[in-house]
Amino acid sequence: MLTYTIKRIGLAVLILFLVMLAMYAMVFVVPGDPAAVALGPRATPALKAELITRMGLDQPLYAQVWNFFRNAATGDLGFDVWSKRPVLSMILEVFPNTLILGAVALGVALVLGVSLGCLSVIWRGSLIDRVLAILSVSMISVPSFVIAIYGLLIFSVWLGWLPAIGAGEKGDLGSQARAVILPAFAVGISWVGYLARLVRASMLEVMGANHIRTARAFGLPEGRIVARYALRIAIIPTIAILAVGFGSILSSAVFVETVFSRPGIGSLITQAVAKRNYPLVMGTVLFMTAFYLVVVTAADLLIARLDPRVRDVYRS
Amino acid sequence: MTAPVPLLSVENLTITYASDAGPVQALRAAHLTARAGEVIGIVGESGCGKSTLASALINLLAANARVTSGAVRLRGQDILTLPEDAKRAIRGRHIAMVFQDPMTSFNPVLPLGAQLTDFQHHLPQTRAEKRTRARAMLARVGIPDPDLVLTRFIHELSGGMRQRAAIAAALLMTPDVLVADEPTTALDVTMEAQIIHLLRALRADHQGTILIVTHHLGVIGELCDRVYVMYAGQVVEEATVDDLYHAPRHPYTRALIACDPAHLETHTPVLPTIPGHLPDLTAPPPGCSFANRCPLVTSRCHTAPPPWVRLSDTQAALCHEVAP
Ligand SMILES: Nc1ncnc2c1ncn2[C@@H]1O[C@H](COP(=O)(O)OP(=O)(O)O)[C@@H](O)[C@H]1O
Ligand code: SF4
Ligand SMILES: [Mg+2]
């Protein structure tokens, strides 16, 4: 398990390194000099010169790359072109909002998806199974912006139960909770359908396996077989998909945060791109990449804990 | 005086599987009896219904299987018609099974020790005591380092060790009936000899009955007292092992013996097989199932089902052309 852990973390660091390299190269491939693009056509030469020194663009390329990596390693992601605030603190300020949105969306998807999946396994082939199948497929195929807009219309505008915009009052948990419900459903609903199908399929596959038959042949109670022998294996594909899906959940957050005017990484990056605010764009992308890698690596380690065969692939 | 009730008997058992091509008649009026202390062989080509019979014995048929007639009796009581809870109480404890493929028959993500402990859930002991019992049983089936094996996962063991672990699992509850489905098929020749040796040692102190299911005649000769030969879902001959080898009567049994490598006069690079194929089990022929491959076939074999002809106290065959 230790070798496996070290290898997975090493791989994550390597990927992050390559992403940073690719990102830095991209800034230079895009035509126009970054300072001019950031400040716009009407910037004075003095302003431009000041920005160029501040961003270190006057130094040789290798020194720039070196600085970029050294700073990033110490948590320094540079400064915002406009407000001159450190990028990292701008990110950390709004990141909890996005994290809460993603976590609630995922939690909803996980609880509803796994239970609906288990229900259709228990009643497989019945009317309930078929109704759930149709429901799941509709949840997968309805785009999240439709859910977002109709949710807004019904629950905020007509019924007035939930706030239409914002992330709730600071320090007021109740209002924050109410503010996250609609965006979380908009992000998570298609995952409910997706997970329900996935859990159903992997559960059915495992329940047909030879070792389940063995457990039955020794007279083990069915509940024990499901909980101890089947679920442990059936949940593995779900964990893998969820970790990868977390990336797509974060990218749908970009859009949902805009619709609900909710502060977060999504709205931050949208504004930064619109204003060609390079340090902020690069810092945010880097931060999200790192976060995504942490999630995926953690999921891989969890899977390896659950399934000894995975760790052995790496041992040999 | 009435005959004593046998430990295990199968009567007139007919089982079909639902399939897209129509019902597959996997067993047709199959029957056997086994007394305490006997080792019974069940032999036949692949697809003859041996595993179906074994599943019926432990009361764990596939979801698409249907018992259309017959009974499986343990000490006279039909176990196929019991309520589910009563069936569960018999499984593992009174009738246990060594499955065909030990690699896939153990859970891949639980250590062996946890599974062997779970398998004793019928017993009142604590988990620690059950683990000790499991350890002792692993040692008994010849596993050199039982403590280590308790902590291992099934894929970490060699083929021979897996098979030994599977046998240990089945013996844990000292069942009355032990069913071993192809216990040596997944093994190479050396391993096979070792497992046969082990099963012989175990049969000496097993009180109940052992049923060995195989398509390999050599295993039967080494281990069994009596044999039931199966063909296309039917029992076609019943004989002692001696008669099986020296006086087989059913044409199918004779063909099987003729193909057995141990009986060949000269060594050939290619093992002989019986020419022809099993009939389609969704529409078995109206007469004898073996008619399309039988050297002794006559016209009535194609039209009339053959009778079960008793040849002696211990031998009988399903054929038009045999007589006592
Ligand atoms: N679950 C199943 N569904 C449909 N057909 C099956 C099923 N299991 C076995 N069969 C068919 O039943 C027949 C007997 O199979 P089986 O009992 O496994 O034979 P054996 O163990 O002698 O090889 C074969 O024709 C096989 O294809
Ligand atoms: S009944 Fe006829 S076809 Fe069938 S085994 Fe006997 S002789 Fe052969
Ligand atoms: Mg078989």
* pLDDT of B266: 59
Q: Are the beta carbons of B96 and B58 closer than 8 angstroms?
A: yes
**A80 Rama sector, left if φ>0, alpha if ψ -120 to 50, beta otherwise:** beta
Residue A263 structure tokens: 């502060």
Which ligand gives the minimal distance to the CA of B323? 2
SS3 B273: coil
Provide CB contacts within 8 A for B56, sequence distance 6+. Answer: B10, B13, B15, B27, B67, B72, B80
| Nearest-CA distance B104 → chain A (Å) | 6
Residue A124 structure tokens: 């497989």
| Nearest-CA distance A207 → chain B (Å) | 11
d(CA A198, CA A191) in angstroms, rounded, equals: 10
Cα B24 to ligand 1 centroid, rounded to whole Å: 8
Q: Are the beta carbons of A96 and A287 closer than 8 angstroms?
A: no
**Chain A residues close to B101, C-beta within 8 Å:** 210
- pLDDT band at residue B264 under the 50/70/90 scheme: low
* pLDDT of A92: 85
* pLDDT of A28: 66
Q: Note whether A210 contacts B97, CB cutoff 8 Å.
A: no
* pLDDT of A36: 67
d(CA B184, CA B205) in angstroms, rounded, equals: 21
Residue B46 exposed, middle or buried by CB count within 10 Å (0-12, 13-18, 19+): exposed
Give the pairing of strands B316-318 and B24-34: unpaired
**Chain A residues close to B173, C-beta within 8 Å:** 218
Q: Note whether B104 contacts A306, CB cutoff 8 Å.
A: no
Q: Are the beta carbons of B114 and B130 closer than 8 angstroms?
A: no
* pLDDT of A35: 67
Residue A34, amino acid: P
The stretch B265-286 carries a mean pLDDT of: 79
- Name the residue in chain A with its Cα closest to that of B58: A217
- Give chain B's domains with CATH numbers: 8-94+176-318 (3.40.50.300), 104-174 (no CATH)
Phi, then psi, of B2 in degrees rounded to 5: -95, 150
**Chain A residues close to B118, C-beta within 8 Å:** 215, 218, 220, 224, 228
Greatest pairwise CA separation for chain A in angstroms = 83
SS3 B123: coil
* pLDDT of B86: 92
d(CA A262, CA A246) in angstroms, rounded, equals: 19
Q: From the alpha carbon of B44, which atom of ligand 1 is closest?
A: 22
**Tens of pLDDT, residues B126-163:** 999 999 999 999 998 889 999 999 999 999 998 889 98
Who among B90, B104, B173 is closest to A210 (CB)? Answer: B104
* pLDDT of A34: 64
Under DSSP, the state recorded for A158 is: I
Share of residues in chain B with pLDDT > 90 (%): 67
Evaluate: CB of B288 within 6 angstroms of ligand 2. Answer: yes
More confident residue, B8 or A18: B8
Task: Ligand 2 pocket test: pick from B254, B293, B320, B322 the residue with the most ligand atoms within 8 Å of its Cβ.
Answer: B320
**pTM listed for this prediction:** 0.78
d(CA B122, CA B141) in angstroms, rounded, equals: 22
Query: For residue B205, is pLDDT > 80?
Result: no
Give the pairing of strands B177-181 and B95-98: parallel
d(CA B189, CA B216) in angstroms, rounded, equals: 12
* pLDDT of A314: 57
CA distances from B79 to A215, B11, B35, B74, B295 (A): 19, 12, 17, 7, 40
- Name the residue in chain A with its Cα closest to that of B151: A308
Torsion on CA atoms A134, A137, A138, A142, rounded to nearest 10: 180
d(CA A56, CA A60) in angstroms, rounded, equals: 9
Provide CB contacts within 8 A for B241, sequence distance 6+. Answer: B41, B220, B221, B224, B225, B226, B227
* pLDDT of B322: 92
Partner B contacted by A214 (CB < 8 A): yes
d(CA B250, CA B244) in angstroms, rounded, equals: 10
Residues in chain B: 324
Shortest CA distance to A254 belongs to which of A279, A271, A241, A276?
A271
Residue A19 exposed, middle or buried by CB count within 10 Å (0-12, 13-18, 19+): middle
Who among B93, B101, B156 is closest to A219 (CB)? Answer: B93
Q: Please report, for chain A, the start and end positions of each structural domain, with discontinuous segments joined by +.
A: 1-82+277-316, 91-274
Who among B106, B109, B121 is closest to A307 (CB)? Answer: B109
Cα B308 to ligand 2 centroid, rounded to whole Å: 12
Shortest CA distance to B163 belongs to which of B182, B144, B178, B176?
B182
* Nearest-CA residue for atom 6 of ligand 2: B319
Enter the CATH code of domain A91-274.
1.10.3720.10
Shortest CA distance to A139 belongs to which of A67, A81, A190, A105?
A190
d(CA B288, CA B303) in angstroms, rounded, equals: 8
Cα A208 to ligand 1 centroid, rounded to whole Å: 15
**How many Cα atoms within 13 Å fall on the side-chain side of residue A126?**
7
State the sign of the Cα–Cα–Cα–Cα dihedral A153, A158, A159, A160: positive
The stretch B176-201 carries a mean pLDDT of: 83
Residues in chain A: 316
Who among A217, A308, A309 is closest to B92 (CB)? Answer: A217
The CB-based long-range contact list for B290-293 (8 Å cut-off, 24+ gap) reads B290/B231, B290/B232, B290/B236, B290/B251, B290/B252, B293/B252, B293/B255
* pLDDT of A194: 87
| Nearest-CA distance B175 → chain A (Å) | 11
- pLDDT band at residue B323 under the 50/70/90 scheme: confident
CA distances from A36 to A41, A46, A64, A277 (A): 7, 12, 18, 11
CA distances from B171 to A53, B53, B140, B222 (A): 80, 20, 10, 20
Shortest CA distance to B278 belongs to which of B10, B32, B49?
B49
CA distances from A119 to A113, A122, A126, A204 (A): 10, 5, 11, 12
| Count of beta carbons in the 10 Å neighbourhood of residue A97 | 25
Strand partners, B227: B41, B239
Q: Are the beta carbons of A145 and A255 closer than 8 angstroms?
A: yes
The stretch B256-278 carries a mean pLDDT of: 73
Q: How many CB pairs under 8 A join A and B?
A: 76
d(CA A77, CA B321) in angstroms, rounded, equals: 93
d(CA B48, CA B70) in angstroms, rounded, equals: 18
Which ligand gives the minimal distance to the CA of B322? 2
Under DSSP, the state recorded for A86 is: B
Per run of 10 residues, the mean pLDDT along chain A (length 316 residues) is: 83 86 72 65 74 72 75 74 79 85 86 86 83 85 77 78 72 74 81 89 89 93 86 87 80 78 83 78 85 88 86 62
Residue B228 structure tokens: 């039931």
* Nearest-CA residue for atom 2 of ligand 1: B17
Mean pLDDT of chain B: 90
